[in-house]
Structures are given as C-alpha cells and as structure tokens.
Structure 1
Amino acid sequence: MVAGGVTFFAVVKDAPPLDEALLKDGASSKLFDKDGNKFAEVGLEKRTHVTYQEIPKLMEHAIIAVEDVRFYEHNGIDVKRLVGAVIANVQDGFGAEGASTITQQVVKNSFLTPEKTIERKLQEQWLAVRLEQKYSKEQILEMYVNKIYLSKVNSYGHVYGVATAAEAYYGKKLNELELHEAALIAGMPQSPNNYNPFNHPEAAEKRRNIVLTLMAKHGFISNEDAEKAKKIPVQESLVQTTKDPNPYDAFIDQVIKEVSELGDIDISTAGLEIHTTLDPAAQTHVEKVLESNEIVKFPETEIQAGIVLLDTQTGEIRAIGGGRNSEVARGFNFATAIERQPGSTIKPILDYGPAIEHLQWPTYQQIVDEPYKYASGQSVRNHDGKFKGQMSIREALADSRNIPAIKAMKEVGAERAGEFAEKLGISFKGAVQESYAIGGFDGVSPMQLAGAFSAFGNRGQYNKPHTVTKVVFMDDTEISLKPEPVKAMKESTAFMVTDMMKSVVTSGTGRSAAVSGLPIAGKTGTTNFDAKTKEKFNIKSGGVRDIWFAGYTPLYTAAVWTGYEETTEENYILSSKEKALAKEVFRSVMEEVSKGKETPDFKKPSSVVLVGVEKGSNPPKLPSEYTPKDQIVKEYFIKGTEPTEVSETYNKLDAVSGLTINYDNEKGEVTLKWDYPEDKREGIVFEVQASVDEGPFTPIGTVKELGLIMKDAIPEAIYTFTVTALREEDSENRSDPAQITITIPAKIEDEIDIIPGDDDDNEDDGGEDDGGDDGNGNGNGDGNGQGNDNGLPIGIGVVLPKR
C-alpha cells in the first residue's frame, strides 16, 4: 500500500493545474501546413453558450443515461463502473474498455492527452476528484454540454455544445428539441464525425436508438416513448444548410477525423498544435476548380465531384476537394466519405497487378477478348459491345476491356487478388466475387483510390493517405501520426503496372488526362446502372452513374470522382462533356501542382527487362531478322522469364520458281511468267528489274501477279531480268532473285498491202477492247491499263538505256 501510494503521488504530481479558463472556454487548436505555417484555428467557431438552468431535463437525462448514469452519486470516479472496466482490461488488454465519468471527460478534454495509458488515467482520476471538490455537479455538467464537439454542419462550421447542435442540425432552440432529436445529440460525443446524421444516417440512427434504450432502462422515459421515438427516421427533421464560407474546410474535416482516432478528444478545447500535410496553393486551386466554373466548366449545378491530391512518395494529402455547391450537398465530403463502385479503376488493383505479382505475367501477356459469362450464366459485355480477340494485357487495360480483366483475376485467383488489394487499402465485405474484377462492388472513396494508386508510383510501397504528421499537446507531449510504409508488392510489379497505365494516358481511354511533358500513369472508370434503376428513373441509353479518373506521376497522385449525390430522372451522367469532367479536373490539378517542378520518369528496376517481341506470337517469341518493323512490339518482362525462341513466321522469303520468258516479235513485247506457292502469297509482291547489254539493273515494275509484260524491246539487245519476292509492308524482307536472259532478234519488216481509201479511224488495229482492260485477260489494254490479253501487267514508265 505504501509503494502504491508513493507511485500514485509520483504520477499525479505532474498533473496540470485546474485552470478555470480552460475549463469554461477551452483553448483552441492551431493547424499548421506542410511548411510549418499556421492556416487555421479550430475552437474559435460560433458557439451558443447555455447555463445549467437553460439545459432541458430531456437533454440532461439523455446525456446522463448514455455517458454517466451515476453522475450525481459519485465524487468524480464511478467505482462500480471502474471495476467493470478493470476486469475487461485484464481479460482483453489495457484500453479495451473505459470508465470515464462526465467529470473525467471534462478534465481530459481540458488538460490531458487522449492516450489510454495508466499514467494518464491516474492523472485524470486525480483531477476529476479535485474538480468535484471545487465545482458543483451542475457547474461540471454545464462545462460538459458547452464544450463537447459535435461534428460539422456547413452553416455553422464545426459545432461545439448542445445548444449550437440544436440550431445546426434542427434549426431549433435547445428547449424546443423533441425526444428523438435530443437523444441523437446526446449520443454523438462518443464519435462525432461517425455519428453525423447528414454523413452517416444509419450509424447515427443506431446510436440514437441506443440512447433511447438507456433512457428507458434507467427510468427517464417510458418504454413506449422510447419505441415511438425509434420509429422516426433520423433524417426526418434535419434542416437544409447553406454553404460554409470557411476555406480548407474539407481538409480540416479530415484532420479532425484523424486526430479523433487518438481517443476521446475535443479538438476545439484541447489547445493542440496539429502539424498537417496541407499545401495551401494546391488546396486553393482544387477549391477553385470545383467551385468557380472558371477552370473546368461543369455543365450542371447539381453534378458533384470529389478529389484527393497526395504526395506519391509519402501518402501525405496535399489537398482535398470535398464537393461542389455545399448548400446542396449539406457538407457531405465526396472525397473521403463516399462509398461508390470504382468501375474500371479497380483493374490494376484487383486483376493485372496480382497477375503480374503472382504469375509473373509480362506486359505482353496475351489474352483473348471474347464472349464470356460469369459462373452464374450472366453475360458480360465490353463498353463498346464488341470483342477484339487476342491482345496483350497492355492493350486490354489501355482500352479498358472487361473480359480480359475478369479472366486475369480468375487466373490469379480471387483470394490472392483480394489480398493484393487489401495491402493497398481496398477492403471488401466478404469474399471477392467475379464482378469485382470490373468494379462491381461498393464502395471506394477518392482518398482510398489515391492511396492505392500511389503505391504503384512508389515502387510498391503503400503509405496510408493522411493529413496529420504529429500532434503536440499543451504539456508538450508529442504524438506522431505518420503511418508506417507497407510493402504492398514487388518493385517489378509496380513498375510494369505503371507502364501499362501510361499507355492508358498516351493511347487509351485516358488520353484527355495527359499533360504535356509529364510522365502520367492512370486509369479511367465508369459505373453503370442496374436494370431496375434504369427502369425506375427512365435512364436514357448511355446514361451512367459514376465517372472516375485516378492517376499519378512520380511526385503527385490524384483520384477524382464525378457524379450525382442522388439519382433522379434528370440527375445522371449522360453527355460527353459530363463524362470527360473527371479527366479535365485531374489534368488541371496535376498541371498546376507540377509547374516549376522537375518530374523524372518512373525508374525501371533491374528486375525488369525490355524485350522486342513479334506481335501476336503466343507464347511470346523474339522477332527474326525478317520480321517487319511494324510487327515488333517492345514489352517488359520480369528478368529470367523473357522469351528465347525466335519466331519463324517471317523467315526469308522463298524465291520465285518456273521463271520463263517469251518475246513477241510482232508486238515487240517481252513476257515474263513465274510461279510462287499459293499458301505463301498473302502480302507478297514481286519486283522486276532489267539490265540491257550487261548494264546496271533498273526497276521496271512491282506487281502482285505472277507475270509482267515489257513493251518496246530493243532489237538485237541482250536483256537480263530478275524477279524478287518481297513483303508489301516490309520491302527489306526479300527473297533471292530469280534471273533469266534473252537476246532480242533483229526486227523483220513485213510486207504490208496498202488499200487506197481504206482509212477507218474507228478501227483499232492493236486489238484494244472498248472500255479498257482490267488486267485479267479481257483484252489488250491501252498501255496504261494494267494488262493485255494474257492478263499480265505491262511494265512501263521506265526508259531503259538504248544501245
């Protein structure tokens, strides 16, 4: 007992003094940006103070029932409740259950840190007893109801005290509140942001009903009254609010949320120094993009957007755009609080990333885009309703094909795919389903998506997105809130997925998000309505629910969501302008924050090699020396898995065979004919050259046919002809030439009878067909008509040297 007493007094002697000013008014908390400059002070917001006499019994009973039912019986410490908490802490570990009385909460929020440590609890209990000695129960309750933080409502900013909450949430004075309204406010202090009825109505209603149950249990109201109040929807009497004029509000909301995770703490009265990750210039630009309509022109007032910008390397959030037209949205944060289907933005996370990580797929991996059905029998379609056959996963991702993505997740396995996503901060309710491969699940926020994408740009290291780096309390105690990095994937996986997503921006569905000079990787995403919703709201063809774009450079990552808060017959995304908004917002923000900063390209790790592959080969093969250049693609492979076999598809071409030559003395024409295998003729043309009297060879024609006619041969000349097969699209790939020689005989002048007066200009002695010749043997063309009576082309246009 002596040792315990000594220890107790050793701990409590360092407890801070009971400062009456702090008890009544508290000390505001100061927020500092990434460079250490103060940008906001929380705790100076509008308050409506009430005395104990102005607190309605309804509100007092609700608070006491849920927070401290023996408030008027104990001396600051509830021994019975404390014993129960001690047992829980022994069984489940220290901090498992608290036993704080209302008096202790006033002390903790006024003087102490929120850490659940033995030292802090002993100081809290000591100060609570002293507070009870100095102040009456009524004074302590008055302190509590005026100090507690009750989340944020736009027209009031951050709400402190029950009187302000009555005005902010219900537009009423405190004494006008109904039972269900008082119960909701009384239940909020345990987790103000999570029980905000505007943002989380289901959680708020559940918490309110707990308060009503406790009020009935302890005799403050009847069971009948409690059940009647529980039936009232939590949103029924909430008031519509107007735009919050405070700058950086969406960012500050997230700061408060992260600080509140330290434990029970009232940021408005705790006198904290909160060091954040805010970039004021970036935040200002984000807000201007969403609100001004000067940079990005939003076609509809009601269309909403949420954006999170963070540092790719650290996960530090630089700016948050929580929404547009806050008087409509009622303060809901579309950057951090929405849970919407991610659409195709999930494909790098759930499909191709895991396949590269576990199956060592190259970016060239071939996959077939073809008709496909889920195991349930439901058919799956692509965004364009078409199927493009065999392609690489790079092409499939760039063009956002659905079937290849589903096949990739199926190949790697849903369980491994889910584990990969979990490491990137994307969690699922239950087992991963087939439809998840193309984003068919709720829900993801821009903040979560930005965090996941940043890991690909950070060599596979995941940093949880955060706005707070450290908190300094009034006693100079510091707590770091920087999350520890998590190795989410191999560096090779991160680089290869990144390079595939670069193709999305350079040649795929994300081209309009590109910024000149910046290496950007990213992914588009679209979510559709189900058949029931389409029918209910008469959704027109092409109408969609959500449009996403998430992307990153080595320096910054941003995720943008656009859509409507609620779907109606008018409110859904339909026009091409609306569908492009997410990419426009991303491009504007990324361009602005990257100005004046040198942004290097993503660095290839030594575990990855770039290899030229013959296009379409499956399994991949190296190109031969005869493979056309346009049939070679360069793709990344994990070192040691690159192809070694050389393709034989484009080997050196076979030479022509059966080359013959014939001279028509009457017409002065040389006819060449040759043979070539029918099964090898596709894409092949034949180049014919001629040499006169052993002079240089000169081209006289390139033809697809198996023959050629040369007119006006020189009598007594020695002609040597070569015929070479070559690919029409790659003239470098050619066969060995076939060669033949002929000596043209001297011209024999035939005796011609001239019949006087027989000069019929309509007669064509050359035997030409009226209407010309088609080169198929239907007449002897006019010299330019690609053929004569044997259907062979005529080589003209080149004058051979004469003797």
Structure 2
Amino acid sequence: MKNLWNSIVNSFKSIKSWSDFANKANLTIEIIRRIILYSIAGLMILLSLAIGLGMGYVSALTNQVAVPTKNEMKTQLQDVNNSATLYFADGTKVESLQKDLEGKKISLSEMSPYLKKAIVSTEDSDFYRHKGVVPKSILRAIISDVTGIGAQTGGSTLTQQTVKMQMLSSETTWKRKAVEIFLAMRVDKYFSKDQILEDYLNAATFGTNNKGQNTQGVQAAAQGLFGKSASDLNLAESAFIAGLPQSPSVYTPYTKVVNENTNSQRGDFKDDISLGMKRKDIVLYRMYRDKKITEQQYNDAKSFDLKGDFLKPAKASSKEIKYGYIYNLLTEQARTILIKRLVKNDGLKYSDVVKDNSLYEKYYTQADTELHNKNYKIHSTIDKSLYVAMNQQAQQFKNNLGTTHSDSATDSATGKSIKVSEPVQNGSVLLDNKTGQVLAFVGGVNFKKSQNNHAFDTKRSPGSSIKPLITFAPAIENGLIGSQSMLADFKTKFKKYSPTDYGETIQNRFVSARETLEESYNIPSVNLYNYIRQHNVSSKSYMSKMGINLSDNEYNQLGITLGGTETGVTVLQQASAFSTFANKGVHVDPYVITDVIEPSGQTIYKHKGAKKRVFSKQTAYIIKNMLHGVVTKGTASALSYESNFNTKNLFGKTGTSNDYRDNWFIGSTQGMTLASWIGYDNFYGHNYNLASNSTDINQELWANMANALYKENKSTFDVNNTFSKPAGVKTYKVDKETGTYTGSIDYNGMTTKVNQHTANSLYYKGSPSSMSYSGFAIGGKSKNYKLFWDNYFGRDNGYAVVKQLGDNSKTASDLANENGSGRTSGFSNSTNGNDSSEVVTNSTSSSTSRTNSATDSTTSNGTSETGTGSSGSGRDTSSDSTSTGDTVTSNTTGDTLTSDTGTSETPSLAQ
C-alpha cells in the first residue's frame, strides 16, 4: 500500500504542465471507466448465469408436476368445502373429515364492495396489474429467507395465496414455492381477476366465530362475527374481516371452549381484542391510501363501535360420524404419513422428532390442519361389505358377551363423581394373509361411548394364543421337537416360579406337543420354553420379525410363553403374527392405507409391502397341522360345528389370561386370518373379569362373524385350498406314550418291548430318540418316569389323574367339563385323512386309561386397568415374584359330549 501511495505521489510530482496533467487524468478516468464497465459486465454475466441456473432449477422442480387442465384448476379453486376424503377399498366414500372450518360459497356479487376493496388494498395492492406473481416481491422474499436479513415481507400475491390454499399442501420447501409460482401464472392466464378474487374470498380462513368454530370464506365470517350476510357488511365490518387472514387466531375476537365430558364446544370472548381493532385501522388506512375510500369514510369507520356489533357467544351443534372407528383410524394413520413427509422435507429424522414433544406437536398440528382443510384423498384396504357384515354380527352379539357393569367413578378432569357403564368390549381383525391388507375390523361395541379402537390400539395379554409363536414354532424350527415329542406335565418349580394348568391343576402325566397345543396346557409349554432357552434358541429373533417387540426382561421370564407380557399386544399384531403360518412361514406387514393423494393430484404415499421369512415352510406346515386339532377336538372344537363353512383347512388357537381378564381366538385358513378378543377396559380402576365360559362365548362370536364374512365373500377364506405338505417334512412312526422310536426297556430286571400304541410324528429337523426308560420327555424327572412306567405296566398309582394344587372348590372333572375338554371330532366336518394323527393300537386290551382334561390357560400380572400379563401363570411361592395363578376358560356350548379316550389322535389338516 505504501509503495502504491509513493507511486501515485511520484506520478503527480512528475507533472510539468497542465497539458501533461490533462493527459494523465484522462488516462486514469478511462481506466476507471473500463474497470466499472468490466465489473458491470461480469455482474450481468453472473446474474444471467444465476437466473439461468434458477430457471433451470425451477424447471427441474416443476417438470415432475402434472400440468392441470383449466377444468381441473377450476374444480380445485372453487372447492371451498375442502377436507380429506376417506375411501373404502372399492372407492366408495367413507366420509370426508369433519372440517375445522365452517364455510359457504357465495358469488362475488353477493359480497360487500367494501370487502373486496379492503382485501385487495391489504393483501395485494397490485392485484389488478400483475400476471399472477410479482418478481421483485419474490426476489425480496427469497433474499430475506436466505440471508435472514430484514423483516418477513412476504412475496405471495392473492393469486399465489389462492393456489396455495386450494391446490397445494402447506409445505415450506423450495419445490412447493416453485410449483406455486408456476400454477399462479397459469391460473392468471386462464381466469379473470374477479374469478380469482372470488375464489380467494371463499377459501381464506377468518378465525373463530361466536360458536368457537373456525371459519372459511367471508360469508361464514360475516355470519359468525356479525350475524349478517357478507353483502350487508359496512365499511368497518369489512375492514375487520379483511384484516383477519394475516393472522386469524391473533385478530379474532373469540376463543374456543371445549367441554370434554360432553364432547361439545362453544365460543367465548377474548379478554383482549385490541390487536384485532388495530389491524382493522391499518386496513382502513390502506384503503384510504389507495383512494378506495374518502377521508370522511375513513374517519367514520375508525370511530364505529365495532365491539357492540359482535355476536354473543353460543354453543356449537355436534355432528355424527357413520363409520367412527374407520374415520378415526384412517385419520390417525394419514396424519402420521403427513407428519413423516413434513419432517423429511425439513431434513429431520422422524425418530428424533417423536422424542421432542414440542417439535412433534408442531408437525402434528401442521399435518392435522392439512387433512382437515385440504382435499387429500385417503384410500384404504377396508372392504365395505365385509366391514358392515362383521360389525353387524358384533352388534347383534354384544349383549351376550357378558355383564355390563354400572358404577360410580371420579372424573379425572373435574374431580367430580360420575356414573359410568362398562360393557364387555370386543376387538377383531380380518386380515388377507397374502397381502397383509386389513379387510375389516371391529373397534368396539359402542363408538359413541368409547372411541378407543380395541383392534388397533388396545394392548392386552395374549394368553395362550402366543404359545405357537414364541415357543413351539421356534422349537420345531431348530429341530428340538417333533409333533409327538413328549413334555412333562407334573408339579414343578423353577426357582420361585411354580406354573400350573387351568384351575391350579396338573395333568400328572406326559403329554405330546400336539396335545399340549390342542388342550393348551401350561406346564408342558413352560418346560418347552425353558428347554429351548437352554439350547440358546432366541424367540426374540422370530417374534420381532412378526411385528411383536418385547423386552429382554420379558423373554427372560418363563411365563412369557403363557402370555405374561408387561404391556401386551394388539389384536392386529397378534393376527398378523399368526398369519405367518398360513403364509408358509413368511410374515407380511399388515396395513390399512393403500395410498394418499394430495390436492394437486400427486400421489405422495403408496404402500410398499414388506415381507420377511420367519420360519421355514416345513415348520409352518407342522404348526398348522398341530393347530388344526385345536378346532377339531381341542379347546376350540365347538367351531367345527358352529361354522357354516368347510373347516378341514382351518387352524387356530385360543387364549385366556389370568382370572378370565382377556379371551382370544385366532383362526386362519389359506386366505384369511380372523382374530377376536373380548374383555373389560377397566378404565376407572375397576377389576371386572369375564365369565368362566368366556372361551365359549368368544368362539361363538368368532363363528358368527366368520359365517357372515364367508357368506359375503367366499373367496376371501379360500377354505378348500389344502395346506400341502412341503418336501422336507419327515414323518416318523413313534411310540405314542413316549414319542420315541418303539423298542425295549429294562423294567424290574426284565427287558420288555414297548410298541403297544404308535403314532406318526412330524419333524422338520432332527428325529425321534431311541426308546429309553428315562429322558424321553422334556422337563421329566426320575420320579415322573418311575410313576409312568409303573402305571404302564399295570400299577394303579395315580398317574394321569388330574391333581388340584390350589384351593379351587371345583373338582378336576368340573374343571375339565368347564373347559370343554374331550370333545370328539365327530362333530367336525373335517376329514381325518392325514396319518400324522393316526394312532395304531397293537393290543387294545392294554390300552392306557386317560383322563383328558383340557386347559386353555395363560397368565396376567398386569394392572387391573389393563389386565396384561407378566411372568406367567402358576403359584408364586415368594413374596417378590410377579407371577400369578393361571386360568382357562370354558369351551362348552351346553351340549353333552362324550370324552374321547380312544386310540385316535387329533385329526390333521387334510392332505
């Protein structure tokens, strides 16, 4: 810098004349001029490049947008009753979302001239001069947005605002802004200014009215604020309404008051309405500035007593929704879809947003506003005819589900005592196995009294219905058992945990894996779960793939195999997991929304099915084969004659939690899975339980629903499609009593051949063990084997005599009859063509006497409000253990049935 200065000084010192000075000055000016010209040229090139890149970027953003026709734009612009529309699977309308906005469309000629002038002066003074957009305003807004310098001046014309309200979502992305500009210019090209202004005045929001309702359009605003038509508004009233769109919630004079007890709302005056009044004066000044009104009009309107002109607060009328459970379900799921989309567009992660309550609330409100005020289209998987048929049966049967209890409770909101009524609730789901589509569901027995969706949202103990998922299928998959493998059902104890069967009983014998599932015994299931854990088989890896996520602590509790969960599972989760068996071991994620289309017509969400291999097709087949016995001779045998369709390919599982808190039945065919749960909500701290015959009741409800669904659409069930046995399923002939190969043992110093009764055992991996005196049953102890063999060879020692460990006053015979044990397959229309359940008797004279007492039992140690289970059923011998007594429900239908004590095993799925 110093050298430059010295150079300049020396240059001037060298000037010897005015002519020399002039020449050097001219040269300097020329250099400066050229520098300026070159700089300007460079800036122009850079600006042109930036504009080119910007236009290219905008073109790229808008290139993917379908260009709407004039008629399409007209339809969207004039549709002021916008809100999301929900659809059944066939395109039939379910319902439009209840609008947050009260509105009525009127023509421009029906609006006060003052109102039209006030809106233009306030929102877009160049409205009648521009072509839909104002470039300098857009540039100013972009610079402000990018740099953060300057106030938010806004760059949207009335045309752009109309396009945004009627044709686009409220995303804050550059793409949406680019599309908005593109559509605004197109709208300005095809429609007159008065048409656009009319659409805006009918679509804009104007705050809360005197009933606490949000208003859309100037007609609703005029009626809701001043009780008059928009055509009769005076200047002051027009100016007040025109000032509202900038910030309706701030400037409106009313606030909404909601009564949660009556589910009603009303309006009320705000304590301070000064901001709205100041805004009105600003609008009047802008009208005066634009010479739309005279000075006298301006002063008169400012002094007008507007406060006395407002309507008195009033109560809003309520509206009834026809398909309430569908309405709430689709709204909730669509809202979540929009939230995830908004979060993604803002460059955030949904998993992070849900952890921040305030941030999530922001996106929740934004998405909810979108749905209630814009014309989204939500298409679902719900089949209308199936849904109606299923819910009709639930309504007709609801009075048979159990006692409706009436009692007093404390209202959490007011602290006052109120009368409450608690009926037995039902949650049911019908799934398409192959696609995962929810075809129909029952959310509850009375939507008006309880909007809680018991099919999707209520988590309850799954009871014994979880046994095949968490224990038996993993055991078969890993080659630890076959269908005829023996499990011990004797009095046992695992540290502080002592499980029992139904009614605190034990069967006091060895039972096969097949029979354990058929009759839902507890102790054998716990023994097997303990056994697979000892062999490092993780049930968690299978359950998580089927959409059921439990904690490590839950998996560490042996009672989990009986349904002892901490929070429980939903009906949808359990039905979806169960459908894995029908899908040959592949789990398909369940879903209820197929696609979401935004107001512009673009599909912003389309369901993409997700499939996961959970079990091999061989394991799935064996489980289906075993569970078929549940509906032919086990705990759900009543279904074989209650169903009006062929049940030869039906399989299922019952489940009951402690003290009859929850009752389940899940049944599947090749085509569908239908799950039904019944129980009390116990929302008010009560401790209501189901009746002892709740299994029977729930199965009758299931049968009624299944029959109605089958009558409506037979193809959904696909009942005649046989579950064919895949290659790799091995059949071994085993001794029926031990589950091993037939052979010889040493008994009292003598070698004796054991082959009186045989049965076929199905394996995927592994094979039966050789005949031995001990070790053939999982969970068996030395004294159990001695008791077995002594009885086998003729000693009357109490083997297979059911023992009661608790204080239950019922006899073992009563418990067995109550549970429906011993139903014969004679009532079933199933075929007994599969030799996997066939028993061959070599000597009928030596047939072993048995007492078949079915127990469908599970556990619950959750709170009385939820009835969810924890660590399993049984007798807790410690003070700090969380396990509780186990229960099983009745499976009788009032018919007298003979006990099946013959030599035939459970009929299997027809081949």
Q: Does the TM-score normalized on the shorter chain lie above 0.5? A: yes
User: Which of 38, 46, 58 is the matching residue for 1:9?
Assistant: 58
Query: Could you say if the C-alpha distance between residues 178 and 612 of structure 1 is closer, same or farther in structure 2, counting changes exceeding 3 Å?
Result: farther
Whether contact under 8 Å (1:23, 1:143) holds in the other structure is no
The Cα shift of 1:391 comes to 1.7
The Cα shift of 1:263 comes to 1.8
The Cα shift of 1:254 comes to 2.5
The 5 A counterparts of 1:661-700 are 682=793
The whole-number CA distance in structure 1 between the counterparts of 2:532 and 2:172 is 43
Amino acid of the residue matched to residue 380 of structure 1?
P
Amino acid of the residue matched to residue 680 of structure 2?
Y
Which residue is 1:424 aligned to? 546
Query: Could you say if the C-alpha distance between residues 601 and 334 of structure 1 is closer, same or farther in structure 2, counting changes exceeding 3 Å?
Result: same
The Cα shift of 1:429 comes to 4.0
Query: Could you say if the C-alpha distance between residues 526 and 483 of structure 1 is closer, same or farther in structure 2, counting changes exceeding 3 Å?
Result: same
Which residue is 2:324 aligned to? 249
1:559 and 2:613 correspond: no
The whole-number CA distance in structure 2 between the counterparts of 1:562 and 1:297 is 8
Query: Could you say if the C-alpha distance between residues 278 and 451 of structure 1 is closer, same or farther in structure 2, counting changes exceeding 3 Å?
Result: same
The 5 A counterparts of 1:202-213 are none
Which residue is 2:464 aligned to? 344
The Cα shift of 1:420 comes to 0.7
Q: Once the two structures are superposed, what CA deviation does each residue of 1:418-455 show, in whole Å capped at 9, x if it has no partner?
A: 12111111112454231322111112111111111111
User: Which of 592, 603, 608 is the matching residue for 2:708?
Assistant: 592
Comparing 107-116 with 305-314, which one deviates more in the overlay?
107-116
User: Which of 676, 683, 696 is the matching residue for 1:580?
Assistant: 696
Which residue is 1:111 aligned to? 167
1:521 and 2:651 correspond: yes
The whole-number CA distance in structure 2 between the counterparts of 1:111 and 1:471 is 15
Amino acid of the residue matched to residue 525 of structure 2?
A
The Cα shift of 1:552 comes to 1.0
Q: Once the two structures are superposed, what CA deviation does each residue of 1:640-689 show, in whole Å capped at 9, x if it has no partner?
A: x344968999xxxxxxxxxxxxxxxxxxxxxxxxxxxxx999579xxxxx
The whole-number CA distance in structure 1 between the counterparts of 2:208 and 2:266 is 19
Query: Could you say if the C-alpha distance between residues 80 and 577 of structure 1 is closer, same or farther in structure 2, counting changes exceeding 3 Å?
Result: farther
The Cα shift of 1:126 comes to 8.6
Query: Could you say if the C-alpha distance between residues 638 and 588 of structure 1 is closer, same or farther in structure 2, counting changes exceeding 3 Å?
Result: same
The whole-number CA distance in structure 1 between the counterparts of 2:700 and 2:271 is 47
The whole-number CA distance in structure 1 between the counterparts of 2:652 and 2:500 is 23
Whether contact under 8 Å (2:255, 2:269) holds in the other structure is no
Which residue is 2:758 aligned to? 632
The percent identity for this pair of structures is: 24
The 5 A counterparts of 1:331-410 are 331-375=451-495, 377-388=496-507, 389-410=509-530
The whole-number CA distance in structure 2 between the counterparts of 1:319 and 1:248 is 12
User: Which of 728, 740, 763 is the matching residue for 1:607?
Assistant: 728
Secondary structure of 1:323's partner?
A: coil
Query: Could you say if the C-alpha distance between residues 728 and 147 of structure 1 is closer, same or farther in structure 2, counting changes exceeding 3 Å?
Result: same
The whole-number CA distance in structure 1 between the counterparts of 2:591 and 2:657 is 27
The Cα shift of 1:373 comes to 3.5
User: Which of 88, 111, 115 is the matching residue for 1:33?
Assistant: 88
User: Which of 664, 675, 681 is the matching residue for 1:548?
Assistant: 664
User: Which of 560, 572, 580 is the matching residue for 1:455?
Assistant: 580
Which residue is 1:440 aligned to? 564
1:288 and 2:392 correspond: yes
The whole-number CA distance in structure 2 between the counterparts of 1:178 and 1:504 is 67
Whether contact under 8 Å (1:628, 1:729) holds in the other structure is no
Secondary structure of 2:615's partner?
A: coil
Which residue is 1:786 aligned to? none
User: Which of 385, 404, 411 is the matching residue for 2:531?
Assistant: 411
The Cα shift of 1:49 comes to 5.8
Which residue is 2:383 aligned to? 279
The whole-number CA distance in structure 1 between the counterparts of 2:170 and 2:62 is 16
The Cα shift of 1:318 comes to 1.2
The Cα shift of 1:361 comes to 2.6
The whole-number CA distance in structure 1 between the counterparts of 2:771 and 2:494 is 37
Query: Could you say if the C-alpha distance between residues 680 and 505 of structure 1 is closer, same or farther in structure 2, counting changes exceeding 3 Å?
Result: closer
The whole-number CA distance in structure 2 between the counterparts of 1:293 and 1:574 is 15
Secondary structure of 2:338's partner?
A: coil
Which residue is 1:323 aligned to? 444
Amino acid of the residue matched to residue 309 of structure 1?
L
Secondary structure of 1:382's partner?
A: coil
The whole-number CA distance in structure 1 between the counterparts of 2:504 and 2:427 is 30
Structure of higher CA gyration radius: 1
The Cα shift of 1:23 comes to 9.1
The whole-number CA distance in structure 2 between the counterparts of 1:105 and 1:452 is 48
Query: Could you say if the C-alpha distance between residues 424 and 730 of structure 1 is closer, same or farther in structure 2, counting changes exceeding 3 Å?
Result: same
Q: More helix by proportion, 1 or 2?
A: 2
The 5 A counterparts of 1:196-275 are 246-264=321-339, 265=367, 266-275=370-379
The whole-number CA distance in structure 1 between the counterparts of 2:323 and 2:524 is 42
Query: Could you say if the C-alpha distance between residues 576 and 547 of structure 1 is closer, same or farther in structure 2, counting changes exceeding 3 Å?
Result: same
The whole-number CA distance in structure 1 between the counterparts of 2:102 and 2:620 is 53
Secondary structure of 1:398's partner?
A: helix
Whether contact under 8 Å (2:435, 2:609) holds in the other structure is no
The whole-number CA distance in structure 2 between the counterparts of 1:356 and 1:12 is 56
Whether contact under 8 Å (2:736, 2:757) holds in the other structure is yes
Query: Could you say if the C-alpha distance between residues 727 and 278 of structure 1 is closer, same or farther in structure 2, counting changes exceeding 3 Å?
Result: closer
Amino acid of the residue matched to residue 340 of structure 1?
R
Amino acid of the residue matched to residue 585 of structure 2?
G
The Cα shift of 1:563 comes to 0.8
The 5 A counterparts of 1:40-189 are 40-43=94-97, 48=102, 110-112=166-168, 119-120=175-176, 123=179, 142=207, 146=214, 166=258, 171-175=264-268
The whole-number CA distance in structure 2 between the counterparts of 1:391 and 1:114 is 64
Whether contact under 8 Å (2:730, 2:763) holds in the other structure is yes
The Cα shift of 1:123 comes to 3.9
The Cα shift of 1:524 comes to 1.2
Which residue is 1:709 aligned to? none
The whole-number CA distance in structure 2 between the counterparts of 1:502 and 1:105 is 62
The whole-number CA distance in structure 2 between the counterparts of 1:47 and 1:575 is 47
The whole-number CA distance in structure 1 between the counterparts of 2:83 and 2:700 is 39
1:471 and 2:526 correspond: no
The whole-number CA distance in structure 2 between the counterparts of 1:584 and 1:628 is 43
Whether contact under 8 Å (1:30, 1:38) holds in the other structure is no
5+ long unaligned stretches in structure 2: 1-49, 106-137, 149-158, 189-195, 217-248, 273-314, 340-366, 405-421, 746-751, 775-789, 796-841, 848-911
Query: Could you say if the C-alpha distance between residues 370 and 290 of structure 1 is closer, same or farther in structure 2, counting changes exceeding 3 Å?
Result: same
The Cα shift of 1:374 comes to 4.3
Query: Could you say if the C-alpha distance between residues 177 and 352 of structure 1 is closer, same or farther in structure 2, counting changes exceeding 3 Å?
Result: farther
Whether contact under 8 Å (1:26, 1:110) holds in the other structure is no
Which residue is 2:898 aligned to? none
5+ long unaligned stretches in structure 1: 52-73, 85-102, 149-160, 180-238, 529-542, 650-678, 685-725, 732-803
The Cα shift of 1:475 comes to 3.5
Q: Once the two structures are superposed, what CA deviation does each residue of 1:226-247 show, in whole Å capped at 9, x if it has no partner?
A: xxxxxxxxxxxxx9x99x9544
RMSD after superposition? 4.9
Whether contact under 8 Å (2:464, 2:520) holds in the other structure is yes
The Cα shift of 1:139 comes to 5.6
Query: Could you say if the C-alpha distance between residues 573 and 24 of structure 1 is closer, same or farther in structure 2, counting changes exceeding 3 Å?
Result: same
The TM-score with structure 1 as length reference comes to 0.56
**Higher relative CO (CA 8 A, sep ≥ 6), structure 1 or 2?**
2
Secondary structure of 1:452's partner?
A: helix
Q: Once the two structures are superposed, what CA deviation does each residue of 1:513-568 show, in whole Å capped at 9, x if it has no partner?
A: 3336222211111122xxxxxxxxxxxxxx43211111211112111111111167
Which residue is 1:535 aligned to? none
The Cα shift of 1:499 comes to 1.7
The Cα shift of 1:384 comes to 3.1
